[in-house]
Amino acid sequence: MRIGMFSDSYTPYISGVVRSIQTLRRGMEQAGHEVYVFGPRYPTGLGADPDPAEEARVVRFPSVAAPLYPAFRIPLPRRAQVREAVARLHLDVLHTHTPFVMGRMALQAARSLGLPLCFTFHTRYDVYLRHYAPGAGAVLVPALNAYVRRFCDACDLVIAPTRAIARKIEELGVRSPVEVVPTGVPVDRFAAGDPAERRRTRLQLGLGPEDVVLLYTGRLSREKNLPLLLEAFRRLAAAVPSVRLVLVGDGPLRETLQRSVADWGLSGRVRLTGAVAPDRIAAFYRAADLYVFPSVTETQGLVVVEAMAAGLPVVAVASEVSEEVLGEGRAGLVVAPSADELARACRRLVEDDALRREMGRAAQQAARGYDSDQVLKRILGLYEALRVRSARPRPAVRGHVP
């Protein structure tokens, strides 16, 4: 098959959505399919030089910096240009990972060329709007939800990463078929490793052999609930001298977090590494002892599954998604959104080596259900079904998707 992936972000930008596209793309290409990614062009110097072989199948469009987060680029494609590229590449299926700019381009190209279109619901858009527009969010959320519902109904298939998100989609009133397919993780890549690599990574981070390391990976932004994590660690650090916290990632909240670390006298116990290339991230998981995840805005929590694949028990703030991914408490602990509760759960695992190892083993076993090879087979099967259905008459769509 020849597949077109559409996204409002792609490399060198680092995010869970980008990593999910990369993992899916690589698996499809290894299986003999051709995948083309449609996304924004980035200024030079924002990351490592792209792999020419990979970049040959990326269709880039001019972009501008997002007002609230300049590292995120807003693509500015022309409709005719996108349609021409899709037609020229003889694509069989279009798969969008956004309902916005590039998603609209995918929808218009699919409709004009008679191609099937599926959409992966990666983000709780309503929750993000409330975080980034707190004053206007309550007013704008109904309009946003109506738009997302219409977009979903204009697609042939909607993919939800978890059952919890499938329920949210159904609550919007979406009538298109919804399939639950998790975002895949190359489990073996995170599970592999050796003691020498662990020692080397910990040494690079300035960590001692007796330190018990708590890890967070992801964007440093307000919707991730990081002030709660830092406050919980502050309380934990006061009681347990051996604990350390490593925050891997970058984002608009980084300077605020750095100031809090300095103000609270935690500079020697908290490491902020900045952004780490996806091909290096596994070493940071394997250098840690416990993964902490405070976010309640996720649709799956890709980084949680990566941590589990690396054999880390997880302490997560309670949400429908975290409870689903962690199961019945064998792979980690789910706690109320309280600094005291989060600190207490972390302390329990920090001080109980046997429980930490037991939960780590259970986490690694549970991560097998998210293995990217299994996910790839599911997605390819759905693509084939879409191709069969694409010639059938389409149901009427409620409203108009601009």
Q: What is the pLDDT of residues 63-93, one digit of tens each?
A: 999 987 888 999 999 999 999 999 999 999 9
Q: Work out the average pLDDT over 159-184.
A: 96
What average pLDDT does the segment 44-65 reach?
Answer: 84
Residue 292 and residue 231 share a domain: yes
390, 115 contact by CB (below 8 A): yes
pLDDT digits (tens, 9 = 90+) for 337-389: 999 999 999 999 999 999 999 999 999 999 999 999 999 999 999 999 999 98
| Separation CA 307–CA 218 (nearest Å) | 12
**Percent of the chain surpassing pLDDT 90:** 84
pLDDT at 54: 81
Give the mean pLDDT of 107-129: 94
Confidence of residue 59 (pLDDT cuts 50, 70, 90): very high
Report phi then psi at 202, rounded to 5. Answer: -65, -40
Same domain flag for 141 and 191: no
Same domain assignment for residues 291 and 382: no
Same domain, 234 and 283: yes
Regarding whether 156 and 138 lie in a shared domain, the answer is yes
Do residue 134 and residue 194 come from a single domain? no
Check whether residue 163 and residue 233 sit in a common domain: no
In a domain, 78, yes or no: yes
Same domain flag for 134 and 25: yes
Q: Tell me how far apart the alpha carbons of residues 312 and 331 are, in angstroms, rounded to a whole number.
A: 8
Are 127 and 223 in a shared domain? no
Are 50 and 39 in contact by the 8 Å Cβ rule? The answer is: no
Query: Model confidence at 131, in pLDDT bands (50, 70, 90)?
Result: confident
One-letter identity of residue 200: R
For residue 182, name the pLDDT band (cuts at 50, 70, 90): very high
Q: Report if residue 51 sits inside a domain.
A: yes
**pLDDT for 402 beyond 70:** no
Which amino acid, one-letter code, is at 310? A
In terms of C-beta density within 10 A (0-12 exposed, 13-18 middle, 19 or more buried), how is residue 198 classed? Answer: middle
Instruction: Provide, rounded to the nearest whole percent, the portion of the chain with pLDDT above 70.
Output: 95
Specify the number of domains making up the chain: 2
Assess contact for 264 and 227: CB atoms under 8 A. no
**Is 119 within 8 Å of 159 (Cβ atoms)?**
yes
| Dihedral pair phi/psi, residue 358, rounded to 5° | -60, -45
Same domain, 160 and 210: no
Q: Which domain holds residue 265?
A: 187-369
Residue 49: pLDDT band with limits 50, 70, 90: low
Q: Is residue 191 part of a domain?
A: yes
Who has greater pLDDT, 54 or 398?
A: 54
Considering the domain boundaries, does residue 84 fall inside one? yes
pLDDT at 106 over 60: yes
Mean pLDDT of 263-283: 95
Q: What is the pTM of this model?
A: 0.92
**Region 9-31: what's the mean pLDDT?**
95
For 266-366, where are the E strands, in sequence order? 270-274, 290-293, 314-317, 332-335
Let me know if residue 400 belongs to a domain.
no
Q: What residues are paired with 357 via a beta bridge?
A: none
Q: Smallest Cα–Cα separation from 191: which of 283, 71, 277, 276?
A: 283
CATH number at residue 42: 3.40.50.2000
Residues 171 and 65 in one domain: yes
Mean pLDDT (the chain, rounded): 93
> Is residue 233 assigned to a domain?
yes
Same domain flag for 236 and 361: yes
Query: 319-329: per-residue pLDDT in tens?
Result: 999 999 998 77
Contact predicate 330/212, CB 8 Å: no
339-351 and 353-367 helices, crossing angle to 10°: 100
Count, residues in the chain: 402
What contacts 285, CB < 8 A, 6 or more positions away? 190, 215, 217, 291, 306, 307, 309, 310, 312
